[in-house]
Amino acid sequence: MRTQVGIVGAGPAGLLLSHLLHLRGIDSVVLEARSREYVEQRVRAGVLEQGTVDVLNEAGVGERMRAEGLPHHGIELRYGGAGHRIPFERLVPGRAITVYGQQEVVKDLIARRLADGGKILFDVPDVAPHSLQADPYLTFGGERLDCDVIAGCDGFHGVCRPSIPDGVLSIFQRDYPFAWLGILAQVPPSAEELIYSRSDRGFALHSMRSPEISRFYLQVPPDASLDDWPDERIWAELRARLETVPGFALTEGPIISRDLSAMRSFVAEPMRYGRLYLAGDAAHIVPPTGAKGLNLAVADVRVLTEALAHLYATGSTDLLDAYSATCLKRVWRAQHFSWWMTTLLHTFDTDDAYGRRLQTSHLDYVTSSEAAATTLAENYVGLPLDSGAPRD
């Protein structure tokens, strides 16, 4: 087999990259180790930045998102027995977020790529990249795929980043002393917007996926087990952490899925080795507090698309050579914002009275200062995207 761009991973990064390249007349093949059913049902992030929404709409894959997604123009920070709304419509006019599940984005992209004749191979065993410095190719299940470049969009645990020789990448990592327990519940949301709640019991997040499905998260110990969290305990803890303002009552119902996520920050740089380009979680991880993971992946593949289109149109590698530096500028901004949101809202040590007072003081500042609230709002809805292309 022969293609121009070999893409490893059929998550949102790999699928969107394949679609954007197709729009520019560039051929690609996507290799995915899991089944189509698995990648379409995998529950992940659901908050899309304004820039991500714009990219999907401009690429012609936003029809269902526009019909079913939930635009939000603010979030609530809840602490100290009161709720404080951060109004995006006033602080960052014309910009918002849209709640639309990652698995729905994946379904839309798969359907569009297959309708366009795109090549997505699922259930592919033993994918491995080779000859990364020149004449790269991928092997899988006894087959070989030759390509001009390889895009590693296969996530944190994928095969592409480990294929880079030791000593090439600089690794930056921070592990947090807690995890998130996430659930999907078949109940209408209890509020119209996301609620980020800080309490001495730990952090809780009220979110949603549709008018009928709610999404909740609880801060739990890093060694927590799902067996330790039956439905009754989950709802009791959500009530204790969210029902902290007068008049708010949590709507409860059947829990249809649950998962545990480690909380970590991770960056591998540069995001390139030879003709292998890393994108999305293969290169960087952020704690989900700032809702940046999927959005960073979209930003990465947008830059990579422009660089590859420039290569095939002009023969110049200038934009590919700048790919890592262009992406990392945004990655580190998102790293800082995600770290800031995480440290602002989580309980790190229940005996640290000094730390809790600092958190409260900072929350008071964010919710009373126009400048501080604007900083949160503009980072949350997403800073303007940079393609890496020269500006006129």
DSSP track, 178-199:
EEEEEEEESS--SSSS-EEE--
230 belongs to a structural domain: no
Note the helical H segments in 258-381: 293-314, 318-321, 323-345, 353-368, 370-381
34 belongs to a structural domain: yes
228 belongs to a structural domain: no
Give the integer Cα–Cα distance in Å for 296 and 284. Answer: 9
318 belongs to a structural domain: yes
376 belongs to a structural domain: no
Domain count along the chain:
1
215 belongs to a structural domain: no
270 belongs to a structural domain: yes
Residues of the domain holding 158 = 5-75+94-173+264-349
What is the pLDDT at residue 221? Answer: 95
Q: Which CATH number characterizes residue 116's domain?
A: 3.50.50.60
Cβ atoms of residues 32 and 146 within 8 Å = no
What is the pLDDT at residue 231? Answer: 96
The residues annotated with a catalytic role in the active site are 72, 196, 288, 292, 380
Torsion on CA atoms 68, 71, 76, 77, rounded to nearest 10: 90
18 belongs to a structural domain: yes
| pLDDT < 70 stretches in the chain | 387-392
